């Protein structure tokens, strides 16, 4: 339940983040590819951050600076790969391009760019050292039935989106 709740919380945070970026850029706000107020790629990314950082913290006995360097480097690569795969899958399944970094100076194709990868590096540190300690303070108070309801709503949203083969922006 812990990781499922983390997935939903970070998916919602991703939804809010994406809409703030859209608002700042003067673009239309939207929920991304699903109907609900969540962006699952952020939930999945956060889960990877939590699981990989926990693994590195528990397995490696390194000094703090070296530990942080390894975590940031490995998570930057993994999250960049996740973004690349996500972009490709969304385009292949829904025939929509949600982001295109072709105009960035250090892009590799349209789905990844060094500039954005650096945001994932910073985001990893924010998740590990700022957000997760705050989330851990209240996540245990979320009743299981709330998590089950969120899961059912999320699955219905996925089925509705995939059956219509239409994204909702």
107-108 and 112-113 beta bridge pairing: antiparallel
The residue-averaged pLDDT of 138-154 equals 94
More confident residue, 15 or 22: 15
Report d(CA 49, CA 72) in Å as an integer.
Answer: 9
In this predicted structure, the answer to whether residue 107 has a pLDDT above a threshold of 70 is yes
The residue-averaged pLDDT of 45-66 equals 83
In this predicted structure, the answer to whether residue 106 has a pLDDT above a threshold of 90 is no
Structural contact between residues 1 and 144, judged by C-beta atoms closer than 8 angstroms:
yes
Which has the closest alpha carbon to 71: 6, 135, 125, 127? 125
In this predicted structure, the answer to whether residue 167 has a pLDDT above a threshold of 70 is no
Q: Could you tell me the pTM of the whole model?
A: 0.81
Tokens of 75: 């998570």
The residue-averaged pLDDT of 105-114 equals 84
Q: What is the pLDDT of residue 9?
A: 95
In this predicted structure, the answer to whether residue 155 has a pLDDT above a threshold of 90 is yes
Tokens of 146: 């709330």
State the residue for tokens 């939804």.
Answer: 15
């Amino acid at each position: 339940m812990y990781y499922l709740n983390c997935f939903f919380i970070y998916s919602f945070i991703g939804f809010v983040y994406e809409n703030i970026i859209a608002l700042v850029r003067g673009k239309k706000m939207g929920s991304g590819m699903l109907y609900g107020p969540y962006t699952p790629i952020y939930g999945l990314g956060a889960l990877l951050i939590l699981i990989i950082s926990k693994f590195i913290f528990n397995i490696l006995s390194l000094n703090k600076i070296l530990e942080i360097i390894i975590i940031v480097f490995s998570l930057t690569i993994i999250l960049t790969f996740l973004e690349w795969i996500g972009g490709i899958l969304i385009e292949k399944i829904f025939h929509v391009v949600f982001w295109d970094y072709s105009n960035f100076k250090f892009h590799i194709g349209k789905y990844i760019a060094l500039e954005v990868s650096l945001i994932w590096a910073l985001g990893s540190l924010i998740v590990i050292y700022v957000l997760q300690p705050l989330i851990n303070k209240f996540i245990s108070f979320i009743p299981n039935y709330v998590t089950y309801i969120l899961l059912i709503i999320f699955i219905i949203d996925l089925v509705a989106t995939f059956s219509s083969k239409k994204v909702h922006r």
